[in-house]
Amino acid sequence: MIDDLFADSPPDWCEVLAPGAMVLRGFALPRVPDLLQAIDAVTADAPFRHLITPGGQRMSVAMSNAGALGWVSDRRGYRYDAIDPDSGRRWPAMPRAFAQLALDAAGEAGFDGFTPEACLINRYAIGARLSLHQDKDELDYDHPIVSVSLGLPAVFLFGGFERSDKQARVPIAHGDVVVWGGPSRLRYHGVLPIKPGSHPLLGEQRINLTFRKVR
């Protein structure tokens, strides 16, 4: 798919990681003010929280959700739910700025018509990390994952189809968007611990928006 999209070579702002996977450098930058306003609105209604894994560990990344479904974790396992377990209400609706960015970024990567049902909003403090995992709680793997980075830089780990496969270490900066789907949809990925620093807009944190089609 990506080979067809860029028959000669990808543009400078696009970094191909594997078939069906790429980094769109700075793609979200023009939309940052709208994205930050939408994040504030969502998290005012559904505040960040540290979820517990099925094994009883507290996740270092704080999170919230927007959209028809939200991703949750507790002793019962990982799953999607239409209800915020903290409030007992539905998750905040998907902001228009979120949905449009996800649609546009997926289209740039060759995945047209992407309409996510869930946006996971992850807040990384300094030292927070995301261990290697596959996104496989969804019922349909035909749709890509769109991941937007805001704030402090990070190192994105992008591996193979086994946890033990070698991972590429991909520097990710404020405004970058990573899209993976098709033959790369179930690759293992993660984020190394966030290094100390301060971003002009977000201070000592990184915010990640991850868009998924669940059903």
Spell out the domain ranges in the chain.
Answer: 2-212
Over range 56-75, report the average pLDDT: 97
Instruction: Report pLDDT for 197.
Output: 98
Q: Which residue has the tokens 């739910």?
A: 81
Tens of pLDDT, residue by residue over 168-198, are: 999 999 999 999 999 999 999 999 999 999 9
Instruction: Report pLDDT for 140.
Output: 86
Over range 134-149, report the average pLDDT: 96
Q: How high is the mean pLDDT of the chain?
A: 95
Question: 211 pLDDT exceeds 60?
Answer: yes
* pLDDT band, very low/low/confident/very high, at 12 (cuts 50, 70, 90): confident
* pLDDT band, very low/low/confident/very high, at 13 (cuts 50, 70, 90): confident
Question: 3 pLDDT exceeds 60?
Answer: no
Tens of pLDDT, residue by residue over 90-123, are: 999 999 999 999 999 999 999 999 999 999 999 9
One of 3.40.640.10, 2.30.40.10, 2.60.120.590, 2.60.40.1080 is the CATH number of 2-212, namely: 2.60.120.590
- Residue 178, H or E segment: strand 177-180
Question: 2 pLDDT exceeds 60?
Answer: no
* pLDDT band, very low/low/confident/very high, at 9 (cuts 50, 70, 90): low
* pLDDT band, very low/low/confident/very high, at 10 (cuts 50, 70, 90): low
Question: 84 pLDDT exceeds 50?
Answer: yes
DSSP 58-118: BPSSEEEEEES-EEEEETTEEEEESB-TTTSSBPPPPPHHHHHHHHHHHHHTT-TT---SE
